Amino acid sequence: MPHTLADAAALAADPAARAGDLHRLVGIVFDRPGGADLPVAAQSEYDAAILQVVRDEEGLTDLPIVTKVDIGHTDPMWTVPQGARRRSDPTASALTFLEPAIG
């Protein structure tokens, strides 16, 4: 069990890094940790830990990363369909689905 949000973020990104999977991605989306009651300062700690794994340790400085998305175990929770093609635009804080989730 992770002790801090930074530990949780590192655990979320590290298995993919160790398997070499991060280098195959064109972008990555992470949930907003801790639900609605988590202070913004703690969310920044989570983001810093993700950047440490993805950018500093893996050297993926051009990989788009979107964080603080209401998916996973958050409140409110947005259900993201698996396997549907999507486009992320970190500068616009947008995640767009390019095809129906149910075919």
pLDDT, tens only, 1-60: 444 555 556 556 666 666 677 778 788 888 877 766 777 777 888 888 888 888 888 898
Contact (CB, 8 A) for 95 and 88: yes
Give me the pLDDT at residue 27, please: 81
Give me the pLDDT at residue 1, please: 42
Conformational region of residue 68, where left means phi above 0, alpha means psi within -120 to 50, and beta covers everything else: left
Give me the pLDDT at residue 2, please: 46
- Indicate the pLDDT class of residue 103, thresholds 50, 70 and 90: low
Query: Residue-wise over 6-38: b if at least 16 C-beta within 10 A, else e?
Result: bebbbebbbebbeeeebeeeeebbbbbbbeeeb
Domains, in order of start, for the chain? 5-97 (3.50.30.60)
- The least confident of 5-9, 72-76, 98-102 is 5-9
Q: Is the pTM of this model over 0.85?
A: no
